[in-house]
Chains A and B, each alone.
Chain A
């Protein structure tokens, strides 16, 4: 299976900051990578698909980039509602879906 590694595990930031989360895969997944946001007690919510495509209804301060084995999620101008845990997921057609271990964005 393709391994997915996120960094950092925890990120402390303030409202208005720009933050970046990195996701690396153990082999190339082309652009088959998604990003999710999860709040405590809730289900994950799709933010970004195909590495850089914003899901409908997701604020434009979220953006994704990358291809191959290295990807980033950037939140520009962090808002109070953005403090949550973020997961990346690869969905290469020839391998079981796998998720990163998560990055918790907390208030500094």
Chain B
């Protein structure tokens, strides 16, 4: 059974940093592109960042470029999202997602990030 377990969310002040982690199991992690998707009530579901299988190709939504960084360690079946210079509009539930059928075929339970003073 595919399992994706996120951690690392919490309350952070504007301008602060957080590192989200995703532990993957139940599938061959190194075979899959992985992405982060976030969901905030006022903005709905948003794709945030993508990593290819070996981590060398990485893509970001425009509003997080230069602030967020996606990385992975295939030996540890782990995915991360380093988030710097956080803003109030980054407040959301962040999901770790596996790419299958070229789309988001498996999702973690999500971790809440709240950016507020």
Contacts and interface: CB of A to CB of B under 8 A. Distances in A.
Interface of A: 32, 34, 36, 42-46, 49-50, 53, 55, 87, 89, 91, 96-102
Given A43-B95, A43-B108, A43-B110, A102 B44 contact: yes
Contacts of A43: 95, 107-110
A44 B107 contact: yes
6 contacts: A34-B103, A44-B45, A45-B107, A46-B101, A89-B45, A99-B44
Judged by DSSP, the binding face of B is strand
Nearest to B45: A99
A46 B105 contact: yes
Contacts of A49: 101-103, 105
A91 to B, nearest CB: 5
Nearest to A42: B109
Interface string B100-117: 011111111110000000
Nearest to B96: A43
A97 B105 contact: no
Contacts of A55: 101, 105
Given A96-B61, A99-B45, A89 B103 contact: yes
Interface string B4-44: 00000000000000000000000000000001000000001
Contacts of A36: 104
Contact of A34 (B46, B104, B107, B108): B104
B115 to A, nearest CB: 21
Contacts of A45: 107
Nearest to A45: B107
A102 B104 CA distance: 16
Nearest to B4: A43
Contacts of A98: 47
A32 B95 contact: no
Contacts of A89: 45, 103-104
A55 B109 CA distance: 19
B44 A32 contact: no
A97 B47 contact: yes
Contacts of B44: 87, 99-102
